Structure 1
Amino acid sequence: MDSSATLEECIQYALAHQVDIRQAQLDEQIVDRTIKSRLADWYPQIGLTYNIQHYLQLPVVLFPDLNDPTGPRREIRTGVANSSTAALALNQTIFNRDVLLANRTSRDVLYQAAQNTTNQKINVTVEVSKAFYDLLLTRQQQSILQLQIERLTRNLKDATNQFRSGIVDKTDYKRATIALNNATAQLQQARQQAVVREAVLKNQMGYPVEKPLVITYDSTRLEVDAELDTNQVVSYQNRIEFQRLQTRRNLLRSEIDYARWSLFPTVSFFLNYNLNYQNQQFAQLYSRSFPNSLFGLTVGYPIYQGGKRRQNIRIAELQFERSDWDVTGLQNDIDTEFQRTLAQYKSDWINYQTLKENVELAREVYDVIQLQYKSGVKTYLDVLISQTDLRTAEFNFINAQYQAISSKIDVERALGQIDN
């Protein structure tokens, strides 16, 4: 991104580089891989095992004496000293509720991860927008202070000239000097505040701290950007929180099915092929093999678990029922948030319009008193007061302007209108 950036460019940069979003995108990939890992259990599972062993002492088996069946049994060592086995096993799941749940919920789980990323993007868009306007506000304050310094410099010159001409005493130019010094100090403070707010914006964007960042904005758009249609109504479906809750309810519904599937057995097919090697002499161990193979079906079903399955089903049903109240609670929260932010916006908008008029009045008063002072009608104290009133009116106006824009962002977020 170029060092000079608009609000839209700052937001786009943040969506591509901000830490929380990058982490959320990686979480999406992790979820995707996890789902694929679980679904892999549907495919045939093939494994190979190998072992080799040597008996230090052969096992002993007691056999009856065929010549004397009622007599003591004979001790006979069996087997061979060296043996080795290579076994190839194939297992195919036919029914398993864990694998079935993974297949049933894969789309919702992946969608849930994507919604988390969307939520992060909305948060970043809001925070970057507010940080951008906050920095712009500081820049505007610097401009106001710079203009004030220019006016105070002229006033100091006028007061000095009038003092030298004997029209006024020395208190006028001293007051002008004090006011100029104060304005210069305030400008330095504003510059330091701009450094801090620029750092905040860079942090919200994920922008390198060491790189310069100059924001650009069309000041004529500010009033347009502050306007909002206050007749809009809330649509819950537009809120990402509501969408995430609906996805969670789908997953809870699947949990009910999962609990009910415990009433069914697990079924799998297996096929084994074994190569056995046996020989008394180790060097001749692999000279001959004794293969065997088999296939079959494995069925597992717990007959009695003390009512555990029935309780798990009921737990899943209660969790889904509880999510109904989550929906109700979220709707109430959204309604409250919208009413609160809308009321705040209306208050800020009225304040903004009122202070806009104050700036024009304060500027007119200052211009008139400035002319009257030059004509000797007004004292410099009157000039200083009108100058302070003008600066205060300008500061209050831009603060109100940016507060209205900030409140508008909050309302748009409450309405689910923040574009990510």
Structure 2
Amino acid sequence: MAKRMKLAGLAVALGLVIAVPMARAETLADAMIGAYNTSGLLEQNRAVLRAADEDVAQAMSSLRPVISWSADATRQFGTTRSASTANNIVPAVSNTISASLIAELTVFDNGQSKLAIETTKEAVLGTRQQLVSVEQQVLLSAVEAYLEVRRAIENVALRENNVRLIAQELRAAQERFEVGEVTRTDTSLAEARLAAARSQLAAAQGALTVAREQYLAVVGRLPGQLDPLRTLPDLPGSVDAAKGIALRNHPQVKSVQHQVAAAELSILRAEAAMKPSVRLSGRLSVTEGIDTERFTRGGSIGIEAGGPIYQGGRLTSLVRQSMANRDSARGQLHQVIDQIAQNVGNAYAQLRIAQASLESTDRQVRAASVAFEGVREEAALGARTTLDVLNAEQELLNARSARISAEVDEGVAAYRILSTLGRLTATDLRLNVQQYDPVTYYNLVKDGPIQKSQQGQQLDRVLKSLGKN
């Protein structure tokens, strides 16, 4: 009976073990998804883009009628003398109320309004590319935070193992000292190394705490069990090919190109402002006397043409300023192109350094492992001292630590190359996230919807979903 109960209990225990699913380790993609979904920096720049979208709506309004109203109540008072008052001075008081409806429409302005719309559209396109740059920055920060936690975890495990090994060597040295095989110097050396190893372990644990906090700040949660980085992203085979891709696709290059286009349009706007414009205006008004039976109603419609003659050199100064801004934007474009090309070259150099370091540290670890095992065996036979064993163990520790760093550096360098190519985005990485669509908001506001229109109601729903209402 007791045996059957034990077997039944074992079966229940095994059933519970099987029923409890193993916790899935987090992957690098999970970290990037968390960063994308929780980044305050992304939210900030999305709002910046929406503000730029509104500039298009405001520019578009210049092509449409402007309708306004005004109302006033007036009390006039004073004295009067006329033949009707027998040349006597008498007080005169009147109270009137009037209301007006005014409409204005720009008929012709030499393309100023259309150029303003095109300028703001270029600004929107440039701001969209800046948002892509921020997205790349956020995802690269997630990669770095993830791999730094991996580096810190492996260093802690390495230091813990180091403490265990040195503690074993200390015990062995003490046993040999008790039988007179070694001197007090050997045990003291082992004690000193053990104290140093514990100090380094504490430092590694502190570095892990710092890395976890950085991960929390970037990803939005503390890291759990993290999978090692098993594969690197696909990269162009040569630096020249990578530079060509980067100069075509990098969002910073595209953003400045749109800035140059906007600056070119600004010159045309400044030149158009020096030419005449035509405006159509209309007015309806009603005036009623409060203390009399006076009542008037009427309206007016007219067309007005005009243009500047002399404004103290302001308009020509605006043209020159626009040209200077255009030249500045062109210079910035050349600077960005050079910087992006340099970044690509630097990133590839860092990757090659990391790969060479990883290859050499692999050989170093294998050789140091063999050396350590051999020195330890020789020490057991009395052919080596405790110091020799400790030095061999330290060499192995340094080799393993260098390999950990090289592996992390290789992963960071590979994803930094993706960033310099403009391909470190949620779309290119196929991250399972609800991506922000910058076109949706733009399409809703570009025509300047009013609050009560159908388009305005759709905009209200979008703003509510964004948490802005």
Shorter-chain TM range is: 0.7 to 0.9
State the identity %: 17
Task: Answer yes or no: is 1:394 the counterpart of 2:400.
Answer: yes
**Which amino acid is 2:121 matched to?**
R
* Matching of residues 226-245 of structure 1 within 5 Å: 231-233=238-240, 234-235=243-244, 236-245=247-256
Task: Answer yes or no: is 1:298 the counterpart of 2:304.
Answer: yes
Aligned to 1:27: 48
* Matching of residues 109-120 of structure 1 within 5 Å: 109-120=123-134
Task: Answer yes or no: is 1:43 the counterpart of 2:57.
Answer: no
Aligned to 1:141: 155
Q: What is the rounded CA distance, in whole Å, between the counterparts of 2:92 and 2:257 in structure 1?
A: 65
Aligned to 1:216: 226
Task: Answer yes or no: is 1:125 the counterpart of 2:131.
Answer: no
Contact kept? 1:230, 1:342, Cα under 8 Å: no
Structure possessing the higher radius of gyration over alpha carbons: 1
Task: Answer yes or no: is 1:160 the counterpart of 2:174.
Answer: yes
Structure 2 residue aligned with 1:336, among 336, 342, 358?
A: 342
Cα distance per residue 1:309-367 (max 9 Å; x no partner): 45544543454345444333333333333333333432332222112210111011111
Contact kept? 2:78, 2:93, Cα under 8 Å: no
Cα distance per residue 1:79-134 (max 9 Å; x no partner): 85111101111222223455333322342222122112111111222222222222
* Matching of residues 340-379 of structure 1 within 5 Å: 340-379=346-385
Contact kept? 1:270, 1:297, Cα under 8 Å: yes
Aligned to 1:69: none
Aligned to 2:164: 150
Cα distance per residue 1:364-392 (max 9 Å; x no partner): 11111122222333221111111111111
Task: Answer yes or no: is 1:414 the counterpart of 2:420.
Answer: yes
**Which amino acid is 1:253 matched to?**
E
Aligned to 2:207: 193
* Matching of residues 264-303 of structure 1 within 5 Å: 264-279=275-290, 281=291, 289-303=295-309
User: Structure 1 residue 153: deviation in Å?
Assistant: 2.8
User: Structure 1 residue 288: deviation in Å?
Assistant: 5.5
Give the 3-state SS of the residue equivalent to 1:176 in structure 2: helix
Give the 3-state SS of the residue equivalent to 1:197 in structure 2: helix
Aligned to 1:91: 104
Aligned to 2:33: 12
Give the 3-state SS of the residue equivalent to 2:131 in structure 1: helix
TM-score normalised by L of structure 2: 0.76
TM-score normalised by L of structure 1: 0.84
Stretch deviating more after TM superposition (27-36 or 389-398): 27-36
Contact kept? 2:166, 2:190, Cα under 8 Å: yes
Would you say how many aligned residue pairs link Structure 1 and Structure 2? 397
Give the 3-state SS of the residue equivalent to 1:57 in structure 2: strand
Q: What is the rounded CA distance, in whole Å, between the counterparts of 1:118 and 1:3 in structure 2?
A: 31
Contact kept? 2:106, 2:280, Cα under 8 Å: yes
Give the 3-state SS of the residue equivalent to 1:195 in structure 2: helix
* Matching of residues 66-105 of structure 1 within 5 Å: 81-96=94-109, 99-105=113-119
CA RMSD of aligned residues (A): 3.0
User: Structure 1 residue 276: deviation in Å?
Assistant: 0.7
Give the 3-state SS of the residue equivalent to 1:216 in structure 2: coil
Aligned to 1:257: 268
Aligned to 1:404: 410
Q: Give the direction of change, closer, same or farther, for the CA distance of 1:46–1:55 in structure 2 (3 Å limit).
A: same
**Which amino acid is 1:225 matched to?**
L
Q: What is the rounded CA distance, in whole Å, between the counterparts of 1:160 and 1:226 in structure 2?
A: 51
Q: Give the direction of change, closer, same or farther, for the CA distance of 1:410–1:392 in structure 2 (3 Å limit).
A: same
Unaligned runs of 5+ in 1: 66-73
Q: What is the rounded CA distance, in whole Å, between the counterparts of 1:391 and 1:331 in structure 2?
A: 43
Q: Give the direction of change, closer, same or farther, for the CA distance of 1:138–1:226 in structure 2 (3 Å limit).
A: farther
Contact kept? 1:266, 1:300, Cα under 8 Å: yes
Q: Give the direction of change, closer, same or farther, for the CA distance of 1:200–1:49 in structure 2 (3 Å limit).
A: same
Stretch deviating more after TM superposition (117-126 or 2-11): 2-11
**Which amino acid is 1:231 matched to?**
S
Unaligned runs of 5+ in 2: 1-22, 427-469
Give the 3-state SS of the residue equivalent to 2:78 in structure 1: coil
Q: Give the direction of change, closer, same or farther, for the CA distance of 1:212–1:135 in structure 2 (3 Å limit).
A: closer
Contact kept? 1:3, 1:214, Cα under 8 Å: no
Cα distance per residue 1:279-320 (max 9 Å; x no partner): 4x3xxx6x6631111111122211344665455445434543
Q: What is the rounded CA distance, in whole Å, between the counterparts of 1:289 and 1:348 in structure 2?
A: 90
Q: What is the rounded CA distance, in whole Å, between the counterparts of 1:213 and 1:241 in structure 2?
A: 31
